[in-house]
Amino acid sequence: MTDALINKEKYRDISNNYAESWDAVTSSTDYLYLALMDVVDLNFLYPEVDLLNPFYQSYLLSVNQIQTPSSLLDAVRALNTHVLTRGGYTTIDDYYEDNKGAPALTAKAMWQYLSAEAGYDIADKYVVG
């Protein structure tokens, strides 16, 4: 590892933050869905008539906007490209494995997903949680 290459702890911290961020974004629709179901469960005509469509449309718009993590992929790509270019690795898995005898670097499942979306596969054996 050279001074030109990010250290593994910082890589892990950055990748974990991005994974948790995307996790939070995607799970936010769960709360919107619960609010929608609360409206459905009102069982009063006027509140349902007044609220159902706006809450349903809000839910649909949010779900449609977060179906793809495209806004994050340039950063994911940049971090993984940095590792390959500056570290001289052929694959991201090589970077994860190269720990000089220490346990291999691990990633969150959501980072594996984001990396794959950006064009960088991470083997399942390096994924936790």
- HSE toward the beta carbon, residue 37, CA cutoff 13 A: 6
Task: Going residue by residue through the chain, which has 129 residues, state the pLDDT in tens, using 9 for 90 and above.
Answer: 457 899 899 999 999 999 999 988 888 888 999 999 999 999 888 888 899 999 999 988 888 877 778 888 999 999 999 999 999 999 999 999 987 777 889 999 999 999 999 999 999 999 997
Query: Per DSSP, what are the bridge partners of residue 108?
Result: 128
Query: What per-residue confidence (pLDDT) applies to 62?
Result: 84
Cβ–Cβ < 8 Å for 114, 92 = no
Rg of the chain on CA atoms, in Å: 20
Cα separation values, 128 from 12, 32, 52, 69, 82, Å: 12, 28, 40, 20, 23
Positive or negative: CA dihedral 103, 126, 74, 63: negative
- Please tell me the distance from the alpha carbon of residue 100 to that of residue 94, in angstroms, as a whole number: 12
Distances in whole angstroms, Cα of residue 100 to Cα of each of 33, 68, 76, 95, 97: 47, 36, 25, 11, 9
CA distance 104 to 31: 36
Residue type, 44: F
Q: Which residues, at least 6 apart from 4, have a Cβ–Cβ distance to it below 8 Å? A: 86
pLDDT given for residue 2 in this prediction: 52
Tell me the whole-structure pTM to 2 decimals: 0.77
